[in-house]
Structure 1
């Protein structure tokens, strides 16, 4: 009977769904180069990045979230959520009640800082049958409601970030995960050019040298993809978390010293003010207005009560952020009591500043070629990755509408055709006769 034949075909597809999906679904590699400002490739010879623009897609720039810091921004990319939703509100793990402050690298394995009810892409993909891995990517070393990423390598505190030989070894390792162990999603993080940007400034010749090293690494990546026969099966997204700007110092400017305007001991119970251009303060009970007024008299910064933070920042609903938030003008570091900050370049400033904008490149079987995209917010990378992986996204704040023009076509109808094409010939013939 006709209904019985239809039923047999349907059951066959259901039973073999995972097998057919693994054939039709392409893999995804997300690479982040920390602190890669949007224009860093414009004053350096970068033949491999230039070729990517011809072979794939390039955005003029992307806008990171407020905050323009490593952990908050990376977690926005991997969750598609604003910082006020995922609550990774600083590079440092802190507790404003106990005065706990944990340095950035030590925070990478502290699940209580990352696991706030928002699921990152690794976990969402794993829950839908995919294998995922995190190679030094912020947030990958945490557990989420008891779930961990299938494979994790966490960057150690004293890890050197600029070893080109190791960079290539990392790529070889990731390619073997894809080709030999059938991983579907891998996130790969590099700590440059952020380190050289901090230490020597964005205009230093050494920054240009590290961009050339990154460009060579991109060339090596493409060679490795070919060796592992992944060109037709692997999509690659290359992006970053924030830009970098030159720190303004004496004698050119008067640097900001908060104690000159605010009695920190008397009026505050907690603060992080010696961390670039972004500061947080918890006033003592009943002193919030006094703290706000005092800071409002300080030059080269803007102070906000958390309840009055502009909605466009997507920070005001955070439960973790203290009541007072300070954002320095571009290039001005916040110093609490003494000028101790030695960085010549920094970030953490307003994400509307062009120096905070960052890069987006992508190529692979699902991306258009020689396509230049208008700028977009990094929040929209998440739904794009879900579309590439053919998975249902977790709740997020991004929109595929923003990035769907980067793709050759939407995946839904193609997936059906690919699955049907893989049915045994006998079944297809039977279906045709009917």
Structure 2
């Protein structure tokens, strides 16, 4: 027995066995993202349905997104379990630094080469293992990956209004049909609010509070429809978001054109005017001059050569990232040649800033009830999704360890379990633990 326990302890550092489920016993999974839902938006608004979901399931104190805290990069981290430098969707906008061409958010959704950069989203991984999946407006859902696309998808039209509550309910009804009539296994459903309202009116505005109430009503409608379709015992529901929102400080915005000793004549390519985050590629021989000027250009501006970016950002080791990376302190946006950004709320700041933190709620047959958990990084969500679906993950940067303690199958094991067997069971899950004990092989993942 001591020899076995020694082997168990040694295996802890190797990873976790990929979960496997019998197809007939597999639960379904719905991942819902409400864009720009800051971690504390439920504290100044009455949210009875989100509160009920927390009582019936799991609530995180908050969830930390990756840097850079933008919509497409953060959502692709949820779908791949990779930091942004590793999955390569480094910005909301596709760009070509050689020609200067840039595409806005909506058009970038259809550029498969931007998304298909060596990382597979969970849709494709699940489909290759026999599951049926769908994307409803979810970022990344309009691309193909290694020649494959999600089984079922809905793509919003250009200039789509994300705030129509009637349409939200219709979309939910469609998703319910996908689960009950088309027998889909996994659906990712996206709502563009309260992000749009937070941008336009600011995160402290009455309009944002009203939109959070609309989100909460929608959560209530969603759970009602799950019950009416007899899915309570077979569907796991996760509600989360990509990032938070910060009030823009208008009195002291950062204007690059006003920085002493800096000139756009020294720049080959720029991607600024998009909130607090900027990418610059100086002309040959101008890197040091531009860097030295900008690094002292504004008290609230942070400027790094990409190789010197703090390691915690995981935002340097990718050829798409420009030689210089800029970001403002919370509330400080960057303007380039002209002021074109007039939002009252913004995101894209340091991912550790509290106003960038977001929400995580989960309920369903796999989840414990009435459990509030400590904060974790969103890069870990992918491992949880794969575990819930019973599929083998692709290599990723997250960890199932920080998520397993939410699950019923790990009842009695909390996040801080210290005995070797308990810790192993927390990491592997009961089924995989038995496989290890009995000698049945399983696939190891990072």
* Same-fold status (TM-score > 0.5): yes
Offset, 1:244: 0.1
Answering whether residue 372 of structure 2 is matched by residue 372 of structure 1, we say yes
| Partner of residue 255 from structure 1, selected from 247, 253, 256 | 253
1:43-82 aligned at under 5 Å gives the runs 43-82=44-83
Give me the whole-angstrom Cα distance separating, in 1, the residues matched to 2:154 and 2:116. Answer: 18
2:142/2:153 contact within 8 Å kept: yes
Q: Matches of 2:64 and 2:241 in 1, distance apart?
A: 10
Could you tell me whether the CA contact under 8 Å between 1:24 and 1:415 is conserved in 2?
Answer: no
Please list the CA deviations of residues 185-242 of structure 1 after superposition, one character each: whole Å capped at 9, or x if unmatched: 0000000000000000001001010100011101101110111110000001100000
Partner of 1:7: none
Q: Please name the residue that 1:382 is paired with.
A: 382
Q: Alpha-carbon deviation of 1:266?
A: 2.0
Q: 1:17-76, CA deviations, whole angstroms, 9 ceiling, x for partnerless residues?
A: xxx833211000000000000000000011000101100000000000001000000000
Tell me how far 1:256 sits from its aligned partner: 1.1
- The residue that corresponds to 1:205 in the other structure is 206
CA distance in 1, matches of 2:331, 2:432: 49
Question: 1:134-170, CA deviations, whole angstroms, 9 ceiling, x for partnerless residues?
Answer: 0000001100010110011112221111100000000
Q: Which residue of 1 aligns with 2:356?
A: 356
CA distance in 1, matches of 2:75, 2:253: 29
User: 1:118, CA displacement in angstroms?
Assistant: 0.5
**Secondary structure at the residue paired with 1:303?**
strand
For 1:276 and 1:96, locate their aligned partners in 2 and report how far apart those are by CA, in whole Å. Answer: 19
**3-state SS of paired residue (1:100):** coil
Where does residue 274 of structure 2 map in the other structure?
275
Deviation at 1:412, TM superposition (A): 5.8
Which whole-Å CA distance do the structure 2 matches of 1:315 and 1:289 have between them? 20
State the partner residue of 1:14. Answer: none
User: What TM-score comes out, normalization by structure 2 length?
Assistant: 0.87
Once the two structures are superposed, the pairs formed by residues 155-234 of structure 1 within 5 Å of their partners are 155-234=156-235
For 1:5, the equivalent position in structure 2 comes to none
- Deviation digits for residues 329-350 of structure 1 (CA, Å, limit 9, x no counterpart): 1101100123332100000000
Task: Say which one has the larger Rg.
Answer: 1
SS of residue matched to 1:352:
coil
2:4 — aligned with what? none
Q: How does 1:338-349 map to 2 (within 5 A)?
A: 338-349=338-349
Mapped contact 2:295–2:303 kept (Cα < 8 A) = yes
1:146 aligns with 2:147: yes
For structure 1, which runs of at least 5 residues remain unmatched after alignment? 1-19, 418-434
Aligned to 1:89: 90
Q: Tell me the TM-score normalized by structure 1.
A: 0.89
> Residues 28 and 235 of structure 1 are in contact (CA less than 8 Å); yes or no, is this contact kept in structure 2?
yes
RMSD after superposition: 1.4
Contact 2:60 2:359 in 1 (8 A): yes
Deviation for aligned residue 1:325: 0.2
Which blocks of at least 5 consecutive residues in structure 2 are unaligned? 1-20, 411-427, 435-446
Residue aligned with 2:244, SS:
coil
Whether the 8 Å contact between 1:60 and 1:374 is mirrored in structure 2 is: yes
C-alpha distance in 2 between matches for 1:264 and 1:196: 35
In 1, Cα distance between the equivalents of 2:388 and 2:323? 40
- Residue in structure 2 matched with residue 296 of structure 1 by the alignment: 295
Superposed CA deviations along residues 227-276 of structure 1, whole A, max 9, x for unmatched, are 111000000110000000000013xxx32110111544321010011000
Distance across 1 between alignment mates of 2:432 and 2:231: 19
SS at the partner of 1:325? strand
CA shift, 1:408, in A, is 0.5
Q: Which residue number in structure 2 is paired with residue 115 of structure 1?
A: 116
**Does residue 1:102 correspond to 2:103, yes or no?**
yes
- Which deviates the most, 337-346 or 262-271? 262-271
DSSP 3-state at the match of 1:181: coil
Distance 1:219 1:101 in 2: 39
Partner-residue secondary structure (3-state), 1:77: helix
